Structures are given as C-alpha cells and as structure tokens.
Homo-oligomer: A and B are copies of this chain.
Amino acid sequence: MQQTISKKAIVRLSIYRRYLRSLIRQGESHVYSHELAARTGYTSSQVRRDLMGANAEGSASKGYKIKDLIHKLDEFLDGDEPAKVVLFGAGKLGKAILQFFLNHQRSLQLVAAFDNDLEKTDRVICGVHCYHIDQAKEIIPNLEATLAIITAPDAAIPQLSSIISESGIRGVLNFAPAPMALDSRIDEQHIDITSELQALACLSRSR
C-alpha cells in the first residue's frame, strides 16, 4: 500500500465489494461508478476516487469489469492470508457478533476467546477454545492474532488495555463503553452503540 488511504475509504471499499458480489450473482458483468454509487448511497465521484485508491481501473465506454474489480478489492482488502481474531468477553453479545459478522468471512479467522468467568472458560465457543483472561498475554502471541473484538464490561478495560498493548494486537473493535488507552500504533475502532442510540433519539426529537 503506497498511498495513504483513509479508514473510511477502506470501509467503503468493503461495502462496494459486497454489492459487486451480489451483482455477480445476478449475472451482471460490468458496472458504472454511478450505479455503484446509487446502490451504496455515495457519489459517483467518490466511488471512482475510492476505486482508484485500490488500484482498480475501468474503461470510459464500459465502466468497470466486475470480476476485475472484485479481484483488485480482494487483493487490497484481504492480503494473502486471513487475519487472526480474538474475542474478549465470551458472553451473548460477543457470540452474537461473531455469528453475524465474522462467520463466512474468509479473510477473517477467529482463533481464540477469553473471559474471566470460570463458567465460560475451558469450553468451546463459536468453534474456538475459550481461555481465562490471565492466559491471554501468553496465548495471543503464540496464535499470531492481530485483531481483537471487545465485548467485555467497562470494568475490564484497564486490564485489557495492558494485555492488548503487550501481545502484538494491531487492531481493536471495541464495543465497551470506554475507549482503551492504547498507544498510537494500535488502531482502535470504538463503536459506542448506547451513545449512537442516544444521539438518534436527540436528533429525532429536535426535528
């Protein structure tokens, strides 16, 4: 990856790819940037710009060849081998998120779960072993995991910050209410669902 491309742009590339796949299933072979834009809610200008960022090329007469585009996006987004993911907090939320969003993603592979509840540890959840949280610093580097999904409660965050900083994790998707004080080499995407809901409520009230 030579150029700097924003995280938002990468998220959009992933969204484009999903639509391209559905177009393939419908038997389409070519697509114009404005079609992709209409289906995803962005502008055609932005679609073209984003695709450029992934080194994709189209032609002025036929637009983009879908198969080529998907290939370029696979190359850009997925790399050579699947990213290895661990889950912190093996409760209902964690399991639901894994089942809905990680399942069938060839480029992402769950390799372990961690919890501090002895009732949940030393069992298999979502196809992987669930370890006690105290084993994390040892196990994560051995598994070569680079991504973490956090659905643990607020109180666990300080401990998890320390574990994550020291175990080679490079990206965190955090559903806990608090962001994690991580050093800047680690990417954190904090999804604060409670606050998103409250913002929606506030906005809908003022309309």
| Residues of A that sit less than 8 Å from B by CB | 1, 7, 10-11, 14-15, 18, 40-41, 76-79, 83, 85, 92-93, 95-97, 99-102, 105, 107-108, 146-147, 149, 151, 170-173, 175, 177, 179, 185, 187, 189, 191-207
- Please tell me if the beta carbons of A199 and B101 are within 8 angstroms of each other in the complex: no
Copies in the complex: 2
Which residue from chain B places its CB closest to the CB of A2 in the assembled complex? Answer: B206
Distance in angstroms from A125 CB to nearest chain B CB is: 13
CA distance A108 to B18 in the complex (A): 33
When A40-B179, A147-B200, A177-B18 are in contact, do A83 and B205 touch as well, CB less than 8 Å? Answer: yes
Contacts of A194 in B (CB 8 A): 14, 18, 101-102, 105
Residues of B near A101 (CB, < 8 A) are 193-194, 197
**CA separation between A131 and B122, bound complex, in Å?**
38
Interface centre among A187, A192, A195, A198 (most CB of B within 10 A): A198
Q: Is the CB of A77 within 8 A of B173?
A: no
**Contact: A10 with B199, CB < 8 Å?**
yes
B107 touches A192 (CB 8 A): no
Distance in angstroms between the alpha carbons of A198 and B78 in the assembled complex: 8
Contact of A171 with B201 at beta-carbon distance under 8 Å, contacts A95-B92, A195-B15 already known: yes
* CB atoms of A207 and B185 under 8 A apart: yes
Q: Are B179 and A196 in contact (CB under 8 A)?
A: no
Which of B7, B95, B97, B107 contacts A193 (CB under 8 A)?
B97
Q: Report whether B193 and A191 are in contact in the complex, using a CB–CB cutoff of 8 Å.
A: yes
Q: Are A15 and B192 in contact (CB under 8 A)?
A: yes
| Smallest Cβ-Cβ distance to A76: which chain B residue | B202
Determine if B202 and A77 form an interchain contact, defined as CB atoms under 8 angstroms apart: yes
Contact A196 B191 (CB under 8 A): yes
For the complex formed, measure the closest distance between the CB of A107 and the CB atoms of chain B, giving whole angstroms. Answer: 6
